[in-house]
Amino acid sequence: MTGQAQEAAEAARSRLQRVGLRATRPRVLVYSLLRQVGGHRSVDEIVGLLEERGNTVPRMSAYNVVADLAAAGLLLCADVGPGSALYEASDTWHHHFICRVCGTVADIPCVRGEKPCLEPPASFRGTVDEAQVIFRGICESCIRPLSRES
């Protein structure tokens, strides 16, 4: 393991322990990987990236890990519609934009910066601890070629 990877793993262990999770090998590997590579990743991508780095984590374990990390607030799940859920390591509550043409997923800052940022109607009976806003449309990169064709 390189010095950078060791530092990332130690930072992941510390962060896991601060939120009350045991710093198991799969949790440390998944969380430190997502912190290092960034972006929005499916569980299959996470497993593949770990394998490329010589770390094997069974797919079911990876699903359990992302669920634990998301419940602890260390990962955000980007609900991008049909297909695999995408996860990212983020310290800031935000929303997502999904391009209908290329599928790019981009972070959109939350106006309030904390959850829940929206309140349900007064007629709703229950508690809300999270509200996700998904923006869908066409990203700037995809609009350019479309506008040239017009």
Among 90, 117, 136, the domain boundary falls at 90
Backbone CA torsion sign across 25, 26, 29, 31: negative
| Residues 119-141, mean pLDDT to the nearest whole number | 86
pLDDT value of residue 149: 64
Among 73, 90, 107, the domain boundary falls at 90
∠ CA 37-43-45, rounded to 5°: 50
The closest alpha carbon to 19, from 120, 91, 80, belongs to: 91
DSSP SS3 for 78: strand
Are residues 7 and 38 located together in one domain of the fold?
yes
User: What is the overall mean pLDDT for the chain?
Assistant: 87
User: How many domains does one find in the chain?
Assistant: 2
Domain holding 5, by residue range, is 1-90
The closest alpha carbon to 74, from 131, 132, 23, belongs to: 23
pLDDT value of residue 30: 96
Are residues 51 and 123 located together in one domain of the fold?
no
134-137 and 94-99 beta bridge pairing: parallel
Percent of the chain scoring above 70 in pLDDT: 95
Are residues 77 and 100 located together in one domain of the fold?
no
